[in-house]
């Protein structure tokens, strides 16, 4: 097997243009598992972990650009202001995996259990793709098209993800048989967008790809409006509204039975994660406004 070591993104894109079957390797934390189990046997690998152009993040025009080559450890260290993203990165694997694994690799694998992916969905991120012919930008839902299937073309690399920076609380949480080193049985990212008065909820590991619970999102935003919570974070949220949100998020899941959990358990877990995430977000809003905790 050949291993190619481009020094710049331009070199890497030239290689991809000439040899689209060359497989990029970033952290190798997914790819090496496939190689070790003989599930993939590519003729050539191209190490993209040293490309400086991929290992960057920047704020631009009220948006965040997150380079595909950023490791989870870098994100945790550099991007503390992005709570749900950092929550998700902290739950990935072990320190060794977080030191090597990248968001680009999570997108490249496109597993419905990829922990960074519900966060990108809740932020409504675009995926930025690049080839020798130029860049192509796809909304996350057009990039992720099925279980371990994406719209990445053979001559392209993932350059990064980009989203509008949202003001408001949020979180990522996941359910699994233990606290660390676990593939999610169900996961949820909740983001509150104060300026647009939206609540967004994205689900992982409970469908063929990442899902947004759009009906639940609209219902809870309306309930918060009629309870006056958008204007007054201390206002009480009716218990029935929270219960309806919990049920509607659970209803948005499209889980299957597999070795990690039954469909019924996964659906239930989504509802529980949704209720908890909503209560954390509402509490964070109260705290930020200097209001006492809800009883």
Ligand X SMILES: Cc1cc2nc3c(=O)[nH]c(=O)nc-3n(C[C@H](O)[C@H](O)[C@H](O)COP(=O)(O)OP(=O)(O)OC[C@H]3O[C@@H](n4cnc5c(N)ncnc54)[C@H](O)[C@@H]3O)c2cc1C
Instruction: Please identify which residue in 13, 75, 127, 157 interacts with ligand X, judged by CB under 6 A.
Output: 157
84 binds ligand X per the rule CB under 6 A: no
Neighbour-count burial for 118-145, b at 16+ CB within 10 Å, e otherwise = bbbbbbbbbbbbbbeeeebebebbebbe
Helix (H, G, I), strand (E, B) or coil at 76: helix
Token pair listed for 12: 């890497």
Residue number with CB closer to ligand X (72 or 163): 72
Token pair listed for 98: 């977080």
Closest to 93 measured CA to CA, from 120, 70, 67, 113: 113
158 binds ligand X per the rule CB under 6 A: yes
Distance between CA atoms of 295 and 283, rounded to whole angstroms?
11
Distance between CA atoms of 71 and 204, rounded to whole angstroms?
20
Residue number with CB closer to ligand X (185 or 220): 185
185 binds ligand X per the rule CB under 6 A: no
Instruction: Please identify which residue in 97, 145, 227, 291 interacts with ligand X, judged by CB under 6 A.
Output: 97
What angle in degrees, to the nearest 10, is found between the helix axes of 214-226 and 239-252? 170
Asked whether 217 and 133 are in contact (CB, 8 A), the reply is: no
68 binds ligand X per the rule CB under 6 A: yes
108 binds ligand X per the rule CB under 6 A: yes
Instruction: Please identify which residue in 24, 84, 112, 168 interacts with ligand X, judged by CB under 6 A.
Output: 24
> Other CB atoms closer than 10 Å to residue 114's CB: what's the count?
28
Q: How far is the CB of 90 from ligand X (least distance, A)?
A: 10
Q: How far is the CB of 281 from ligand X (least distance, A)?
A: 23
Interaction pattern, residues 33-52, with ligand X; x per rule: CB under 6 A: x--------------x----
> Residue 104 burial by CB count (10 A; 0-12/13-18/19+): exposed, middle or buried?
buried
73 binds ligand X per the rule CB under 6 A: no
Residue number with CB closer to ligand X (49 or 246): 49
Which residues, other chains included, contact 20 with Cβ-Cβ below 8 Å and sequence gap of 6+? Answer: 153, 154, 155
Residue number with CB closer to ligand X (110 or 278): 110
Which secondary-structure segment (H or E) carries 273?
helix 263-288
Instruction: Please identify which residue in 13, 29, 205, 245 interacts with ligand X, judged by CB under 6 A.
Output: 29
Interaction pattern, residues 111-150, with ligand X; x per rule: CB under 6 A: ---xx-----------------------------------
Token pair listed for 160: 């990064």
233 binds ligand X per the rule CB under 6 A: no
Asked whether 227 and 237 are in contact (CB, 8 A), the reply is: yes
23 binds ligand X per the rule CB under 6 A: yes
Instruction: Please identify which residue in 6, 83, 104, 118 interacts with ligand X, judged by CB under 6 A.
Output: 104
Would you tell me which residues interact with ligand X (CB under 6 A)? 23-31, 33, 48, 68, 91-93, 97, 100-102, 104-106, 108-109, 114-115, 152, 157-158, 181
């Amino acid at each position: 097997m050949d291993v190619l070591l481009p020094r710049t993104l331009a070199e890497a894109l030239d290689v991809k243009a000439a040899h689209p079957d060359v497989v990029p390797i970033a952290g190798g934390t997914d790819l090496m598992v496939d190689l070790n189990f003989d599930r993939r046997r590519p003729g050539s690998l191209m190490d993209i972990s040293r490309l400086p152009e991929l290992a960057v993040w920047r704020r631009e025009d009220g948006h965040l650009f997150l380079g595909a080559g950023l490791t989870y450890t870098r994100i945790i260290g550099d991007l503390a202001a992005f709570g749900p993203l950092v929550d998700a990165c902290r739950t990935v694997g072990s320190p060794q995996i977080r030191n090597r694994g990248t968001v680009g690799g999570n997108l490249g694998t496109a597993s419905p259990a990829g922990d960074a992916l519900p966060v990108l969905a809740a932020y409504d991120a675009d995926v930025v793709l690049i080839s020798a012919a130029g860049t192509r930008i796809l909304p996350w839902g057009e990039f992720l098209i099925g279980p371990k299937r994406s719209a990445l073309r053979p001559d392209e690399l993932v350059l990064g993800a980009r989203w509008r920076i949202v003001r408001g609380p949020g979180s990522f949480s996941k359910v699994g048989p233990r606290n660390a080193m676990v593939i999610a049985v169900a996961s949820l990212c909740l983001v509150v967008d104060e300026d647009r008065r939206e609540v967004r909820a994205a689900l992982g590991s409970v469908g063929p790809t990442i899902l947004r619970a759009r009906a639940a999102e609209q219902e809870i935003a309306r309930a918060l409006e009629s309870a006056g919570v958008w204007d007054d974070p201390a206002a009480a949220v009716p218990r029935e509204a929270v219960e309806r949100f919990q049920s509607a998020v659970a209803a948005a899941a499209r889980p299957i039975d597999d070795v990690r959990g039954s469909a019924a358990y996964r659906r239930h877990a989504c509802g529980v994660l949704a209720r908890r995430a909503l209560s954390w977000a509402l509490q964070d809003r109260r705290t930020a406004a200097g209001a006492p905790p809800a009883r």
